[in-house]
């Protein structure tokens, strides 16, 4: 049965399919400590759902097995990229006001793309298992510790940056799971293979990786530009550079990426318009324009306000005086968060030009 499921997963486009038990993940105490120290920031759902994350039986009563799956979103050049400019020291600086979008978001929303195939695979599992089988699938939306389960099933190991790394695919991975009442023999777990490497820790622009395997989300640029709904802390804004949605620096420098091939399932869903988006064009988007441009993209979850906040910070870090009129107009916005970020950007550009001016 395992081989039949694995073969069907391959037919549907999944890069890897493994099996583990529905037992409680061993890292439960670490999650509780992390939450207790408040390093999850404003992601309150992690704390609310912690009991379920620690006990798969609360997610699907009677679950016996968990099928873990991986889909690569690597592109042909990602194994050789060194990350955003901030990885090379203190924030991205460029005369061209273009923004940086995390690689996973340069596709149509993966929840929909993978979800259609995962639903089909779940139906297959129930069909080959018998009428009494019950199964439940998730793509990073369920209250489960998916990286821990992926490591326990052998898909990869959790790196020092707290992301999953596959020896076959690097760390450009989407993870998904099927919890099922079917009893399937578990695969062997993967062991950690980071060794003495600390590239990801060195690359982090905000020192969010406090120690190996320990991330303070409150300092992570992905958290600041996506999950945080209010003001980005002023002391962290320069390190954001030109990133308007996420950050790949810790992922991009991982040596295991040299084994990453080009994604297949996601390839036809690439959004090339998000490779180097024009910040000024984003600044001019109204609500209707935002919806037209980002419908079906992970960026859509930010809403226009969140995107504008990030664009203002990026312009403050990378733009020149030519965009000041547009920012001054934006500073008059009635929304206090947007107004403050636009004002900060204006001050950053003016101060930078003062320092660059000849005596």
Parallel, antiparallel, or unpaired: how do β-strands 100-101 and 65-72 relate?
unpaired
Q: What is the pLDDT of residue 359?
A: 66
Strands lying side by side in the sheet with 135-138 = 16-21, 65-72, 173-180, 135-138
Residue 140 is among the residues annotated as catalytic for this protein:
yes
| Among 114, 146, 125, 91, residue whose Cα is nearest residue 263 | 114
Per-residue pLDDT of the chain (359 residues; tens, 9 = 90+): 999 999 999 999 999 999 999 999 988 889 999 999 999 999 999 999 999 999 999 999 999 999 999 999 998 754 334 344 433 333 344 455 899 999 999 999 999 999 999 999 999 999 998 878 899 999 988 999 999 999 999 999 999 999 999 999 999 999 999 999 999 999 999 999 999 999 999 999 999 999 999 999 999 999 999 999 999 999 999 999 999 999 999 999 999 999 887 789 999 999 999 999 999 999 989 999 999 999 999 999 999 999 999 999 999 999 999 999 999 998 888 899 999 999 999 999 999 988 776 76
Tokens read off for 250: 């810790």
| Among 248, 310, 237, residue whose Cα is nearest residue 279 | 310
User: Are residues 156 and 166 in contact, defined by beta-carbon separation less than 8 angstroms?
Assistant: yes
Q: What is the pLDDT of residue 299?
A: 97
Q: What is the pLDDT of residue 34?
A: 96
Strand, coil or helix: what is 138? Answer: strand
Number of neighbours of residue 182 by Cβ within 10 angstroms: 22
| Among 87, 248, 251, residue whose Cα is nearest residue 159 | 251
| Beta-bridge partners for 174 | 71
Q: Which one from 55, 140, 187, 273 is the annotated catalytic residue?
A: 140
* Longest Cα–Cα distance in the chain: 81
Place of tokens 């910070």: 313
| Among 199, 201, 191, 195, residue whose Cα is nearest residue 157 | 191
Letter string b/e over residues 230-253, b meaning 16 or more CB atoms within 10 A of that residue's CB: eebeeebbbbbbbbbbbbbbbbbb
Distance CA 341, CA 339 (A): 6
Residues 6 or more apart from 6 whose CB is under 8 A from it?
Answer: 17
Residues 6 or more apart from 20 whose CB is under 8 A from it?
Answer: 65, 66, 68, 149, 152, 153, 154, 186, 187, 189
Domain spans of the chain, in order of start: 2-185+194-352
For 223, half-sphere exposure in the C-beta direction (CA atoms, 13 angstrom radius) is 17
């Amino acid at each position: 049965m395992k081989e039949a499921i694995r073969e069907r997963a391959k037919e549907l486009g999944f890069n890897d399919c493994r099996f583990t038990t529905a037992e409680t993940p061993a890292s439960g105490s670490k999650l509780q400590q992390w939450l207790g120290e408040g390093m999850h920031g404003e992601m309150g759902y992690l704390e609310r759902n912690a009991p379920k994350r620690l006990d798969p039986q609360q997610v699907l009563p009677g679950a016996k097995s968990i099928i873990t799956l991986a889909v690569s979103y690597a592109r042909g050049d990602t194994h050789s990229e060194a990350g955003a400019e901030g990885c090379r020291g203190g924030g991205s600086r460029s005369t061209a006001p273009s923004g940086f979008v995390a690689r996973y978001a340069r596709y149509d929303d993966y929840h929909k793309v993978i979800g259609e195939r995962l639903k089909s695979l779940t139906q297959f599992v129930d069909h080959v298992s018998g009428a009494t089988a019950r199964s439940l699938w998730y793509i990073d939306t369920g209250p489960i510790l998916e990286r821990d389960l992926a490591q326990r099933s052998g898909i990869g190991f959790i790196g020092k940056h707290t992301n999953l790394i596959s020896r076959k695919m690097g760390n450009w991975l989407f993870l998904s799971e099927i919890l099922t009442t079917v009893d399937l023999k578990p695969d062997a777990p993967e062991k950690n293979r980071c060794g003495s490497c600390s590239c990801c820790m060195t690359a982090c622009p905000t020192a969010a990786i406090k120690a190996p395997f320990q991330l303070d989300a409150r300092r992570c640029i992905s958290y600041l530009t996506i999950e945080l709904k209010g003001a980005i802390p002023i002391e962290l804004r320069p390190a954001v550079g030109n990133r308007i949605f996420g950050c790949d620096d810790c992922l991009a420098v991982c040596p295991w990426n040299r084994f990453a091939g080009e994604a297949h399932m996601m390839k036809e869903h690439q959004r090339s318009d998000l490779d180097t988006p024009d910040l000024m064009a984003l600044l001019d988007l109204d609500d209707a324009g935002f919806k037209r441009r980002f419908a079906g993209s992970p960026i859509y979850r930010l809403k226009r306000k969140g995107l504008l906040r990030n664009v203002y910070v990026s312009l403050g870090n990378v733009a020149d005086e030519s965009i000041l009129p547009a920012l001054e107009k934006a500073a008059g916005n009635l929304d206090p968060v947007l107004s403050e970020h636009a004002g900060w950007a204006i001050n950053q550009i003016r101060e930078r030009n003062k320092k660059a001016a000849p005596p």
